[in-house]
C-alpha cells in the first residue's frame, strides 16, 4: 500500500471558524434586537407615553 498524504486542514478550519462566528453573531444580534424592540422597548415606550399624557 502506498502512503497517502493528508491534506492540511488549516484553511478549512479557519473558514469554518469564521463562518460559525459570523452565523453566531448574526443570530445573536437578531434575537437581541427582537428582544430589545419587542419585549423591552415597546412597554417602555407605552409607559413614557402614558406618563407624558398625564402631565
DSSP H helical segments within the chain, as ranges?
Answer: 10-35, 42-54
Range of weakest confidence among 9-13, 25-29, 47-51: 9-13
Place of cell 422597548: 41
Taking the C-alpha atoms of residue 46 and residue 36, their distance in angstroms, rounded to an integer, is 14
**pLDDT bucket at 26, cuts 50 / 70 / 90:** very high
DSSP code, position 39: I
Place of cell 448574526: 26
Amino acid at each position: 500500500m502506498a502512503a497517502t498524504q493528508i491534506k492540511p486542514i488549516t484553511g478549512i478550519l479557519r473558514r469554518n471558524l469564521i463562518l460559525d462566528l459570523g452565523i453566531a453573531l448574526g443570530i445573536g444580534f437578531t434575537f437581541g434586537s427582537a428582544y430589545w424592540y419587542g419585549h423591552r422597548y415597546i412597554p417602555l415606550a407605552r409607559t413614557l407615553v402614558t406618563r407624558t399624557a398625564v402631565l
